[in-house]
Amino acid sequence: MRPLIPRVRVGDVLKGTRNLRYYLQTASTLRYLQEAKHGHSMKHLSRQIYRPSKNDKFLVTVNAWGLFGVCSLDTEVILLFGNPTTRPKNSTRSLGRPSHIQTKMPEMRMNPTIFPQWFIRTHVKMIDLRDWKDPAYYMRSVLHFNLTNIRQDSVPSYYFQHGQSGVFDSHMNGEGWQRDVLLSMSREWATRGVTRVGAPTGKNTPGNGFGPQLEEIEGMKREIFQLCTNPRIAQRLKAEEPTLYETYSK
């Protein structure tokens, strides 16, 4: 199978760039404040805030068919990038004559040029699947091997999470699926070629691409600043997360 990112293989361990750390911290802070706005305990939510570390490691779980995914080895963060699978209509008819309209193709979410903005290669590998967390094993089976392409009711699905909370909530995928069942399905359907062709499908799969983009950071920061204008939220943030308060209240 042809990888989306050359020379990167499933089982490779990557480190995150400063861009990735900043994105994750901003996204988790926004999620924290949104939950606080609705009255949830900030003491409980503070455990969910991403604390940037240069030593955080990310296991490559998917690298095929326009998809690239990693699971954090240190937190519950899961990142999945999916390139557009649908093309916009580029022609119409006007007064009986064809008139071509150039419609902009949705932006790529991951390719060899984008990859270095998010990740740094290392020489570390995890090739023993017994060492993998369950969410990582599930991603590999369902998305990299494309089990979701099997046209049956009783097949595993992957729920693509949207918005800034998605990277922190995707670990819920795969609950109830045993590893031996996934392995058996992979072996059964690989011989028919089903797991090797076509784009992976999943619940809530947007055809115009999905996954984090660096351009989203500024929008998240504006929303954080707006939330910090709420005196109640600002007071609690200052008391319980003074470092974050100093960063985002200016």
Does 23 reside within a domain? yes
- What is the pTM assigned to this prediction? 0.85
Average pLDDT, integer, range 165-177: 84
- Digit-coded pLDDT (tens) for 148-161: 777 777 788 888 77
Does 99 reside within a domain? no
Does 58 reside within a domain? yes
Which of 66-70, 74-78, 138-142, 162-166 bottoms out in mean pLDDT, i.e. has the lowest? Answer: 162-166
Q: How many domains does the chain have?
A: 1
- Digit-coded pLDDT (tens) for 79-108: 999 998 766 555 444 445 454 554 566 789
Does 182 reside within a domain? no
Does 28 reside within a domain? yes
Instruction: Say if residues 154 and 64 touch (Cβ distance below 8 Å).
Output: no
Average pLDDT, integer, range 120-133: 96
Place 62 in a pLDDT band, splitting at 50, 70 and 90: very high
Does 5 reside within a domain? no
Picking from 197, 101, 186, the residue whose alpha carbon sits closest to that of residue 149 is 197
Picking from 230, 246, 215, 223, the residue whose alpha carbon sits closest to that of residue 31 is 223
- Digit-coded pLDDT (tens) for 215-241: 999 999 999 999 988 888 888 788 878
Range of the domain at 72: 12-85+108-130+160-171+205-248
Does 191 reside within a domain? no
Does 138 reside within a domain? no
Q: Strand, helix or coil at 210? A: strand
